[in-house]
Structure 1
Amino acid sequence: MSTEIREPRGRRLVLLAVCCAAAAMPLTFTGPAVALPAISRSLGADPVALNWVTNAFMLTFGSALMAAGALADSYGRKRIFLGGLTAFLLFSVGLAFARDILWFDILRALQGIGAAAAFSGGMASLAQEFEESERLRAFSLVGASFGVGLAFGPIASGLMVEAFGWPAIFVPVVVFAALALALGAIFLRETRDPDAGGLDWKGAASFTVALTSLTFGILQAPENGWGDPLVVAMFVVSALFFLAFWRIERSVARPMLDLTLFRYPRFVGVQLLAAAPAYGFVVLLILLPVRFIGVEGMSAADGGRMMIAMSAPLLVVPIAAGLLTRWLAPAAICGAGLLLSAAGLFWLSRFPVGSDPVNLLAPLLLIGLGISLPWGLMDGLAVSVVPKERAGMATGIFSTTRVAGEGVALAIVTAVLSALTASNLDASVGADAAAMAQRLATGNLAEASLLSPDISQTILLKAYGDAFSGLLLILTGITAMTAIVVFLFVGRGGEAVAPREADAGPPALEPVPVGEAGMTRSNL
């Protein structure tokens, strides 16, 4: 690993490169969410294929992050960052020219792999450039950059869909990725972990198969039924491969995921924090545009404007949260933010489908404000619990928990929304309830109506609206409980955890001073 001291200008340009890459990532799932009705009309697809428009990207992104982090530590963080960005850029261009839903979903999956490499390589590179409190503030800026994509992605995508058609949503993705690639090629320096042992291929393969099977089973269940042989088989395959992954990671000398780290409450708390935004925020980035545009009939631009209320706080609040760590513990900031988000979710559940859009702005803003407080602190906390040399592994584990959690959460909440809607419709439409609910969940109100022409759209909207409110109450409970766990776990102790070495027994805990930001790092 290079020990050269970089001048501030060089570090700032590295930070800018990673921030540009971070701004491109949210555009890849907020854009297709806004454009989903248009994509459905253009390419034609059943509800399961439409669900994969988002889930294909999130699945490969989440399942490849740990492998990408290990590759970054072993073969060079700059190399992985630039290679991932190149792939991400090329597949983003390809998506704009896709004319078949199958190829679109395949390209989305490949785009996710490129994004995983770019994200892991970039964040691991950033961890080498900054120390202690500076690192926390740098990660806060990355969080704010992510917020730029989330804040302006929906409205920009909506305007582009209306003006130029859905392929135009990938233009800003390509622009940000190209800028990050140019800056990274010039200003990033190559670093790696001298003790890295290469990629744990068996672990990477077993984890990917397990996560893919789980997601596929959850997405297929609403249409086929939870007792369908294919769905049950997918869950069994997933359980077997997760078990195989656990056994592999326990036996290899240099695991992709060091399972012994989960003995320590603070490390566990950081992973739970990583998954927290999935249920309280990220799923709404997909479900709300579908509701606003596909079900309530807003234009793509108007639906995008509604999302600004929820995502705009990510522009500034993550930076403010980084500054607040001078006086408050990160656990307190993160837990308080999740409680605010839970309050916003509960408030939003009080407004049925068809409510005046103006009434939704305040709860959406509260959700965004709450989730923005931990957003910029999470990555810095992740790399604080392992030695600096294993930053790629720490980023990979944390990002995998976050993104894989988002993908699984999206599949689960979509299935729950569909099931609740079908339950509300069952007395009215009988056997067609599941199929109609599936189409409502993907924003296709017109096709749902065609399945049972005798049922008025008023009944369909009420069934969907009641289901959406019930789903929000479930998400409120999950977010509130996660906040309590984060208070208890992330706030425990301040030690960095050293990963185990082969045959060295349990990992040692080395107390180190608490830095200005209330975080720690290894003395290595």
Structure 2
Amino acid sequence: MREEIRDAHERRFVLLAVCCAAAAMPLTFTGPAVALPAISRSLGVDPIALNWVTNAFMLTFGSSLMAAGAMADSFGRKRVFLGGLAAFLLFSICLAFAGDIVWFDALRALQGIGAAAAFSGGMASLAQQFDEGERVRAFSLVGASFGVGLAFGPIASGLMVEVFGWPAIFVLVVALAGVSLAFGAVFLRETRDPDAAGLDWRGAARFTAALTCLTFGILQGPESGWSHPFVIAMLAAAVLFFLAFWQIEQRVARPMLDLTLFRYPRFVGVQLLAAAPAYGFVVLLILLPVRFIGIEGMSAVAGGRMMIAMSAPLLILPIVAGLLTRWFAPAAICGAGLLLSAAGLFWLSRFPVGSEPVTLLAPLLLIGLGISLPWGLMDGLAVSVVPKERAGMATGIFSTTRVAGEGVALAVVTAVLSALTASNLGAEAGKNTVSMAQRMVTGNVADAALLSPQTSNAALLQAYGDAFSTLLWLLTGVTVLTAVVVFLFVGRGGEAVSGDEGDADAMPFDTVPLGEIGSSRTNL
């Protein structure tokens, strides 16, 4: 009895450690988004470099998750968790003292690698520490912790920026990571997969190279032109690296990404579901603070306060989504949520730049309400696709789809917004149209105006506002299409999915009981 009490006590502190890490993760991209205008004034105004403030973190985070999951299974989940947290903590501290935008971007990339290791190691450890029923509740609390960080991160970062300056946005990140590191070191037990064959280094290197080339090519396209040899070379290299990754994963005994899983429509549907919030929600976490603060001239605090309307539903609705599975199929809930989010996106597109902030709250809230429903079911739907022993790989696959999708979506959406803004500026802005659009996208209206003195501020804001509305229409259409596809794929019956080819014992999605469908969206 005394040993059981001690074990329960240790598990609580392990859960606290992972929850603190989960709460720190959203602060690492909402904070810099709110502080981007201040960072631009302090470190430099190059638009490509400023785009990498967010993309560098999301790129390395997304491309490292599968490798980190495999390392956790092979070399020890506690070791990977603590090592990742230590790196994440160190680079977060260094970011506060960065004096150059290039160094800042490089540190953001290193911070993303540490975050990937901490996330994969922590989530894989939870899967081992808790039994079936307890595991669902544990994952729910981690998801709620992530929601707290996402909901209050923008306003907290805004207050820090206004009172202490942009370097202060990393104070809370460092504090949460420090608490997580201390509790994890003391209470977490080491576990590993006895059948793991080590890290697939060749596959990891090619996957990372492919994502890097793809993101860099997309970001460079609006400035250099899509027919520029460098842009074409980057996109072609991305295709070649992805093909090389696919070939390697087919040959290795224990692949980093088990490609046989993609034979199952339900597994594919869950991956599409993981990517869905990228272009209907996550990109707005980056673009809207830039619009509110850089374009419309709100204070950092006011801009952060506006974002609460969109992110606050994540505190409650994911849990409600789990309860709704008593009466509705998960596919129906997810599809309905995405349709609600699409309605909010279209509604938001009706309000031009300069609208009264209070009029934007309802569409922002609707977007948040809609995305919170599938957000609450994603991890529960994904939890049965591989055996428990390969929890690191399961976390890696699902989270890589999610985060890599977010990074690529952000690069694509930024490029589209820049191209639309340049098109709206027209020939009257002169030869600097593209450069002006790039600066507008990063919230630097003053520098954009300097490039074309004959263009009024009103014309600049009109061009950006029309481009933003058009972008929201495009995102609305993509979200509606995704809702239909996810409903059809996730709602299919009959097939069981497992981590090993030929294993038909895994639980089908339509037979997963309510308690097994968690409310634990645990990442970007």
The TM-score with structure 2 as length reference comes to 0.95
2:490 aligned residue: 490
1:111 aligned residue: 111
User: Is residue 23–residue 176 contact of structure 2 (8 Å, CA) maintained in 1?
Assistant: yes
How far the C-alpha of 1:328 sits from its partner, in A, is 3.1
1:258 aligns with 2:258: yes
2:79 aligned residue: 79
2:505 aligned residue: 510
How far the C-alpha of 1:516 sits from its partner, in A, is 2.5
User: Is residue 136–residue 517 contact of structure 2 (8 Å, CA) maintained in 1?
Assistant: no
Counterparts in 2 of 1:390 and 1:5: CA distance versus 1, 3 Å: farther
Residue 151 of structure 1 aligns to a residue whose secondary structure is helix
1:11 aligned residue: 11
How far the C-alpha of 1:480 sits from its partner, in A, is 1.3
Counterparts in 2 of 1:472 and 1:133: CA distance versus 1, 3 Å: farther
2:522 aligned residue: none
Q: Which amino acid aligns with 1:78?
A: K
User: Is residue 260–residue 507 contact of structure 1 (8 Å, CA) maintained in 2?
Assistant: no
1:322-333 counterparts in 2 under 5 A?
322-333=322-333
Residue 383 of structure 2 aligns to a residue whose secondary structure is helix
Rounded to whole Å, the distance in 2 between the matches of 1:131 and 1:321 is 22
Q: Which amino acid aligns with 2:417?
A: L
Q: Which amino acid aligns with 1:447?
A: D
Q: Which amino acid aligns with 1:444?
A: N
How far the C-alpha of 1:7 sits from its partner, in A, is 4.4
Superposed CA deviations along residues 183-221 of structure 1, whole A, max 9, x for unmatched, are 211222211111110000000000000000000000111
User: Is residue 81–residue 119 contact of structure 1 (8 Å, CA) maintained in 2?
Assistant: yes
Rounded to whole Å, the distance in 2 between the matches of 1:158 and 1:520 is 35
How far the C-alpha of 1:8 sits from its partner, in A, is 3.9
2:338 aligned residue: 338
Q: Which amino acid aligns with 1:221?
A: G
1:210 aligns with 2:210: yes
Rounded to whole Å, the distance in 1 between the matches of 2:336 and 2:106 is 39
User: Is residue 137–residue 322 contact of structure 1 (8 Å, CA) maintained in 2?
Assistant: no
User: Is residue 64–residue 113 contact of structure 1 (8 Å, CA) maintained in 2?
Assistant: yes
Q: Which 10-residue stretch deviates more, 472-481 or 409-418? A: 472-481
Q: Which 10-residue stretch deviates more, 468-477 or 311-320? A: 311-320
How far the C-alpha of 1:312 sits from its partner, in A, is 0.8
1:290-439 counterparts in 2 under 5 A?
290-439=290-439
How far the C-alpha of 1:133 sits from its partner, in A, is 4.9
Q: Which amino acid aligns with 1:86?
A: A
User: Is residue 494–residue 520 contact of structure 1 (8 Å, CA) maintained in 2?
Assistant: no
Rounded to whole Å, the distance in 1 between the matches of 2:207 and 2:374 is 27
RMSD: 1.8
2:159 aligned residue: 159
Rounded to whole Å, the distance in 1 between the matches of 2:486 and 2:138 is 22
User: Is residue 81–residue 117 contact of structure 1 (8 Å, CA) maintained in 2?
Assistant: yes
Counterparts in 2 of 1:270 and 1:131: CA distance versus 1, 3 Å: farther
User: Is residue 62–residue 116 contact of structure 1 (8 Å, CA) maintained in 2?
Assistant: yes
Rounded to whole Å, the distance in 2 between the matches of 1:263 and 1:14 is 36
Rounded to whole Å, the distance in 1 between the matches of 2:239 and 2:512 is 41
User: Is residue 124–residue 395 contact of structure 1 (8 Å, CA) maintained in 2?
Assistant: yes
Residue 191 of structure 2 aligns to a residue whose secondary structure is coil
User: Is residue 512–residue 520 contact of structure 1 (8 Å, CA) maintained in 2?
Assistant: no
Rounded to whole Å, the distance in 2 between the matches of 1:376 and 1:12 is 22
How far the C-alpha of 1:346 sits from its partner, in A, is 0.7
Residue 510 of structure 1 aligns to a residue whose secondary structure is coil
Rounded to whole Å, the distance in 2 between the matches of 1:314 and 1:207 is 31
Structure 2: unaligned runs, 5 residues or longer: 519-524
How far the C-alpha of 1:487 sits from its partner, in A, is 1.2
Rounded to whole Å, the distance in 2 between the matches of 1:518 and 1:178 is 32
Rounded to whole Å, the distance in 1 between the matches of 2:63 and 2:6 is 33
Q: Which amino acid aligns with 1:263?
A: R
Q: Tell me the percent identity.
A: 80
1:479 aligned residue: 479
Rounded to whole Å, the distance in 1 between the matches of 2:170 and 2:293 is 19
1:185 aligned residue: 185
1:233 aligned residue: 233
Rounded to whole Å, the distance in 2 between the matches of 1:143 and 1:187 is 21
Rounded to whole Å, the distance in 2 between the matches of 1:332 and 1:309 is 25
How far the C-alpha of 1:147 sits from its partner, in A, is 1.1
Rounded to whole Å, the distance in 1 between the matches of 2:352 and 2:156 is 27
Rounded to whole Å, the distance in 2 between the matches of 1:499 and 1:279 is 28
Rounded to whole Å, the distance in 1 between the matches of 2:326 and 2:396 is 27
1:25-174 counterparts in 2 under 5 A?
25-174=25-174
Residue 139 of structure 1 aligns to a residue whose secondary structure is helix
Q: Which amino acid aligns with 2:369?
A: L
User: Is residue 385–residue 506 contact of structure 2 (8 Å, CA) maintained in 1?
Assistant: no
Rounded to whole Å, the distance in 2 between the matches of 1:136 and 1:124 is 13
User: Is residue 497–residue 507 contact of structure 2 (8 Å, CA) maintained in 1?
Assistant: no
Rounded to whole Å, the distance in 1 between the matches of 2:220 and 2:130 is 45
Q: Which amino acid aligns with 1:408?
A: V
Q: Which amino acid aligns with 1:96?
A: A
Rounded to whole Å, the distance in 2 between the matches of 1:465 and 1:199 is 47
How far the C-alpha of 1:134 sits from its partner, in A, is 4.0
How far the C-alpha of 1:341 sits from its partner, in A, is 0.8
Q: Which 10-residue stretch deviates more, 468-477 or 131-140? A: 131-140
1:245 aligned residue: 245
How far the C-alpha of 1:143 sits from its partner, in A, is 1.8
Counterparts in 2 of 1:208 and 1:421: CA distance versus 1, 3 Å: same
User: Is residue 429–residue 454 contact of structure 2 (8 Å, CA) maintained in 1?
Assistant: no
User: Is residue 68–residue 396 contact of structure 1 (8 Å, CA) maintained in 2?
Assistant: yes
How far the C-alpha of 1:477 sits from its partner, in A, is 1.0
Counterparts in 2 of 1:510 and 1:253: CA distance versus 1, 3 Å: same
Q: Which 10-residue stretch deviates more, 16-25 or 313-322? A: 313-322
2:196 aligned residue: 196
User: Is residue 133–residue 515 contact of structure 1 (8 Å, CA) maintained in 2?
Assistant: no
User: Is residue 497–residue 506 contact of structure 2 (8 Å, CA) maintained in 1?
Assistant: no
Residue 509 of structure 1 aligns to a residue whose secondary structure is coil
Rounded to whole Å, the distance in 1 between the matches of 2:52 and 2:384 is 34
Counterparts in 2 of 1:424 and 1:325: CA distance versus 1, 3 Å: same
User: Is residue 144–residue 376 contact of structure 1 (8 Å, CA) maintained in 2?
Assistant: no
1:503 aligned residue: none
Counterparts in 2 of 1:52 and 1:456: CA distance versus 1, 3 Å: same
How far the C-alpha of 1:519 sits from its partner, in A, is 4.9
Q: Which 10-residue stretch deviates more, 9-18 or 455-464? A: 9-18
How far the C-alpha of 1:326 sits from its partner, in A, is 3.7
Q: Which 10-residue stretch deviates more, 430-439 or 280-289? A: 430-439
Residue 514 of structure 2 aligns to a residue whose secondary structure is coil
Aligned residue pairs, count: 513
Rounded to whole Å, the distance in 2 between the matches of 1:5 and 1:119 is 27
Structure 1: unaligned runs, 5 residues or longer: 501-505
Q: Which amino acid aligns with 1:21?
A: A
Rounded to whole Å, the distance in 1 between the matches of 2:390 and 2:367 is 33
How far the C-alpha of 1:132 sits from its partner, in A, is 4.2
1:444-483 counterparts in 2 under 5 A?
444-483=444-483
Rounded to whole Å, the distance in 1 between the matches of 2:517 and 2:139 is 15
Q: Which 10-residue stretch deviates more, 225-234 or 511-520? A: 511-520
Counterparts in 2 of 1:495 and 1:83: CA distance versus 1, 3 Å: farther
